[in-house]
Structure 1
Amino acid sequence: MCSYCGCRSIGVIGRFSTEHDELINVTGLLRRAVGADRRDEVVALVDDVARLLRPHTDAEEVGLFAVLRRDEDFTGHIDTLCGEHVGLDDLLARIRAGESHLVDRFDAELRSHIQREENGLFPASLTTLGGAEWDEVDELTAAAVPVSPLRSA
């Protein structure tokens, strides 16, 4: 994960980065359960990943992505990232339905997606957004439902 530009010091970026870390950790548990052919554990862990992933992607899309999308330089990239969110959800559903062989693909696509956010979009947002826009990102993100289970109450 990114640690060179300081973007994690921005509250919402720090939150998203922390959620990325947790998603990678739970996906590792899922991969191990698939490798050991523990089907009940696989289903439970897919559900755990989904409980983390969906609120995270929803919050990104209604906050940071919505504000950055106004800049035409970011529109195509944001659309691609949103499409990847849908693809990750679809892969998880297929794994839960029994296509456990897709777990490596899910892991690779999740890591690639996170890489593009952490080493591309997040640092770029530091130089693109101003104070009022960050306030708007914070307001929109806070209003996102459902709230991430990683967020402090």
Structure 2
Amino acid sequence: MCSYCGCQSIDVIGRFTAEHEEIINATGMLRRAAQAGCTDEVAELVDEVAGLLTPHTDAEEVGLFTVLRRDEDFTEYVDALCGEHVTLDELLERIRAGESDLADRFYKELRSHIEREEDGLFPASLTTLRGDDWTEVDELTAAASPTSPLASP
């Protein structure tokens, strides 16, 4: 995970990064359960991953992504990340439906996606957004529903 630019000092970026770690950890357990053929555990872990992933991606898209995509330099990149969110959701649904062999692919695509956010978009947001922009990101993110279990009250 990124730690070189200081973007994690921005509350919402720090939150998203912490959520990434939780999602990756849960996905690692899902991947191991799938490899071991533990069908019941896979089903439980799919629900756990979805319970972390869905509010996280909703908050990213409603807050940070909404504000960043207004800048034409970011529109295509943000749209691609949103498309990856859809792909991840679809893969997770297929795993839930019994295609547990996709857990490894899901894990790899999730890691790649998170790297694109943490090593690309998050540092770029630090240099692009200003005070009012961050206030708007915070307000929009707080309004995202449902909220992540890691979101501050």
Coarse TM-score class (shorter-chain normalised): over 0.9
| Letter paired with 1:52 | L
Alpha-carbon distance between aligned partners in 2 of 1:91 and 1:121, rounded to the nearest angstrom: 23
Sequence identity (%): 74
The answer to whether the aligner puts 1:84 opposite 2:54 as a matched pair is: no
| Letter paired with 2:25 | N
Q: Name the structure 1 match of 2:42.
A: 42
Within a 5 Å distance, the mapping from 1:14-93 to structure 2 comes to 14-93=14-93
| Letter paired with 1:116 | R
Q: Name the structure 2 match of 1:119.
A: 119
The answer to whether the aligner puts 1:148 opposite 2:145 as a matched pair is: no
Provide the secondary structure at the position in 2 that maps to 1:21: helix
Alpha-carbon offset, residue 43 of structure 1: 0.3
Provide the secondary structure at the position in 2 that maps to 1:146: coil
Alpha-carbon offset, residue 152 of structure 1: 3.7
Alpha-carbon distance between aligned partners in 2 of 1:146 and 1:27, rounded to the nearest angstrom: 20
Q: Name the structure 2 match of 1:134.
A: 134
Provide the secondary structure at the position in 2 that maps to 1:20: helix
Alpha-carbon distance between aligned partners in 2 of 1:122 and 1:130, rounded to the nearest angstrom: 14
TM-score, length of structure 2 as denominator length: 0.99
Aligned positions, number: 153
Structure 1 residue runs of 4 or more that deviate by more than 2 Å after TM superposition: none
Provide the secondary structure at the position in 1 that maps to 2:22: helix
| CA-to-aligned-CA distance 1:121-143 (integer Å, 9 cap, x gap) | 00000110000000000000000
Structure 1, gaps ≥5 residues long: none
| CA-to-aligned-CA distance 1:89-128 (integer Å, 9 cap, x gap) | 0000000100011011100100000000000000000110
Alpha-carbon offset, residue 54 of structure 1: 0.4
Alpha-carbon distance between aligned partners in 2 of 1:54 and 1:97, rounded to the nearest angstrom: 18
| CA-to-aligned-CA distance 1:1-50 (integer Å, 9 cap, x gap) | 00110100000000000000001100010011111111010000000000
Alpha-carbon distance between aligned partners in 2 of 1:105 and 1:52, rounded to the nearest angstrom: 18
Alpha-carbon distance between aligned partners in 1 of 2:36 and 2:86, rounded to the nearest angstrom: 28
Alpha-carbon offset, residue 151 of structure 1: 2.0
TM-score, length of structure 1 as denominator length: 0.99
Alpha-carbon distance between aligned partners in 2 of 1:18 and 1:34, rounded to the nearest angstrom: 24
